[in-house]
Amino acid sequence: MLTGSAVDLLLGIVLLIYAMPGQIILRKVVTASLLLFVTVFTISDIKPERITTGVFRTGLSTLPANRKVVFSRDGKTSTVTITKTRDNLNTIATNGKPDGSVYMDDKVRDRSLSDESTEVLVGAIPLAIAPQARNVAVIGFGTGLTSHVVLSWPEIDRLDTIEIEEEMIAGARHFRPRNERVFTDPRSFIHVEDARTYFSYTPNKYDLIISEPSNPWVGGVSSLFTREFYQQIRKSLNDGGYLMQWMHVYEMDQDLLFTVLKALSEHFEDFRIYATSDVDIVIIARVHGQVEETQDRIFMEDGMRKELARVGINHIEDIHARYLANTRLLLPLFNKLAVNSNSDFYPFLDLYASRARYLQNNVTFLREFKESPVPVTRVIMRQDDPKSTDITPMSNFYYSTAVWRAQRIYRQVVKNEMPQPGLSSPLYVSVEYLRNLAKNCAVSGQRELWLQQLLTLGGATLPYLGSAELQELFNVIRPECPGGMPTSQQRWLDLISALIQKDFNKIVEITDLLLPSPDGDNPQAHWFLLKARLLSLYMTGKTGEFATSLKQHEDQFKHERLPFDILILEELVKESRQQAEKR
């Protein structure tokens, strides 16, 4: 690093001499520069331990006591370091920014501190969708684990891994044997090259290209997320080929993510988004045709099955649970929000990704879609009910742990099991309150409290259990009162039952009765009713009533932004009306 600084300084002095021959000020500038360099060289304590701290992100200038540097080299583009912790967590970093981490032992442990689930799933998900892929390229070497996972698939004929920094490849050798195949498998070919340069000259055609570069706020990386790059990549894919694009949702904002998705959608007919962890997503896009469903063949090959099991992926439902969004869902939103494409000429990502990082922004709308008790996005995407008993709880994926909690509520209420550890106090109170109220039939006089507990239970179960389980659960908490239930409570339970059964005509009928005066003016209740009604009006083709209902309730949300799922419904209704007018 200091040598490079010295070379830069000398070049600057030469240029000054050439530009200002014989100038007295020149001698002063040269003298001051040399003195400054000697001073910096003398007092600087540039140790690998300092370089790898990532002080610009963490604010720490020293490594934690349990980490040590085992590799440090200056490359042509960055300084690459490897650190190791006492519990065998290896992390590779460029200029102090971690680019991947892996536990090097086989102990059964919580791997949420590592990037293993993302590195494994980036390689596994596209092969679950396109198991027929033969020729594959991976952009970005990182720990080498993604390429290693791809090579665990026996049907791969050739894998090209493209990495711009040679020292990254050298450092990744510290992750052996966890990435062994990328170094020793005869199907593996490593290219030290800029990805855009490589794809500009390679004659190779691929069935699958996996793009897993560093974060887009790192200098130069954002060019791998542009409209022009996706156009270039498309030319290197076979007809019907797939692109898998990694993206982070931490230190990122939704507008920037939209610009990337819009750029990609201009050159790929269809895409899907999957979560690999709470903070990482992958976008799998297809040149022509629809992205296929994930298949469980990947669990039938021993090598792939072991890699997946290591990060808690034991069943195809573990992958289905990570499905967040698709083209059908998001393109109407892009149209509604007039989203621009990230490009070389309008580099939104390059200009604003650093700001999102410093502001600690996070993309939350995908999680909000998944956690909504009214299944707007699931219905639009035509998703099946979750098979909750087949989903493995993992601490680094929020949905799986929510499913785990919902299963415990189900067993507590329906199977009369003892209350399970892991339920939050408010949730436990809601469950027990509703159970006891159903037994004692003491509903009248507690309308607002009862409704709030019902909505709390609905939020904790409706997005996470299958329809049969939900029907059982809500039947148990339905009071069997000799004198009958109060009308509004009866309607709320009927509404939830209709929502579970996806009886959209019934939902329209019930919400028509409940919406004029939602119980206690509860905002949560109002949004629940409004979403359920708008979804049902869309599904039953009542586009005129949709616009009327939305307008009637504008006063309720005039100081809030409309949720994205309602904006999507609004745009879909608009498209339906336009198509009807053309006919």
pLDDT at 352: 93
pLDDT at 571: 93
Percentage of residues in the chain having pLDDT higher than 90 = 59
* Across 286-307, average pLDDT: 94
Q: Give the whole-angstrom CA distance, residue 471 versus residue 504.
A: 16
Residue 48 has pLDDT above 90, yes or no: no
pLDDT at 259: 96
Residue 530 has pLDDT above 70, yes or no: yes
pLDDT at 381: 94
Query: If you average pLDDT over every residue of the chain, what do you get?
Result: 87
Residue 462 has pLDDT above 80, yes or no: yes
* Across 453-458, average pLDDT: 92
Residue 238 has pLDDT above 60, yes or no: yes
What residues pair up with 323 in beta bridges, in sequence order? Answer: 274
**Burial of 318: CB neighbours in 10 Å, binned 0-12, 13-18, 19+:** buried
For residue 354 the two structure tokens come to 């650093």
Contact, 501 vs 493, CB < 8 A?
Answer: no
> Which range is least confidently modeled, 338-347, 419-428, 569-578?
419-428
- Give the dihedral sign, CA 227/228/233/239: positive
Local confidence band at 436 (pLDDT 50, 70, 90 cut-offs)? confident
* Across 25-53, average pLDDT: 66
Q: Are strands 97-103 and 135-139 parallel, antiparallel or unpaired?
A: unpaired
pLDDT digit string, tens, across residues 247-261:
999 999 999 999 999
Q: Give the whole-angstrom CA distance, residue 290 versus residue 240.
A: 9
Taking each helix axis from N to C end, the angle separating 302-310 and 116-129, rounded to the nearest 10 degrees, works out to: 140
Residue 482 has pLDDT above 90, yes or no: no
pLDDT at 484: 65
pLDDT at 558: 67
Helices (H), 277-397: 302-310, 316-320, 327-337, 348-358, 365-371, 376-380
pLDDT at 10: 67
Range ranked top by mean pLDDT from 11-20, 340-349, 470-479? 340-349
pLDDT at 448: 82
Q: What does each C-alpha distance from 64 to 61, 84, 105, 132 come to in angstroms?
A: 10, 11, 21, 45
pLDDT at 231: 95
Buried b / exposed e along 441-478 (16+ C-beta atoms within 10 A): eebeeeeeebbbbbbbbbbbbbbbbeeebbeebbebbb
Contact, 272 vs 286, CB < 8 A?
Answer: no
Residue 426 has pLDDT above 80, yes or no: no
Q: Give the whole-angstrom CA distance, residue 129 versus residue 380.
A: 20
Percentage of residues in the chain having pLDDT higher than 70 = 84
Residue 442 has pLDDT above 80, yes or no: no
- Return the CATH fold of 116-363: Rossmann fold (3.40.50)
Report residue 138: phi and psi, to 5°: -120, 125
Q: Are strands 135-139 and 206-211 parallel, antiparallel or unpaired?
A: parallel
pLDDT at 22: 58
pLDDT digit string, tens, across residues 59-94:
666 777 788 888 988 888 888 999 999 888 999 998
pLDDT digit string, tens, across residues 160-199:
999 999 999 999 999 999 999 999 999 999 999 999 999 9
Per-residue H/E/C for 93-133:
EECCEEEEEEECCCCCCCCCCCCHHHHHHHHHHHHHHCCCC
pLDDT at 468: 94
Contact, 263 vs 226, CB < 8 A?
Answer: yes
pLDDT at 190: 97
The DSSP code for 250 is B
For residue 230 the two structure tokens come to 């996706």
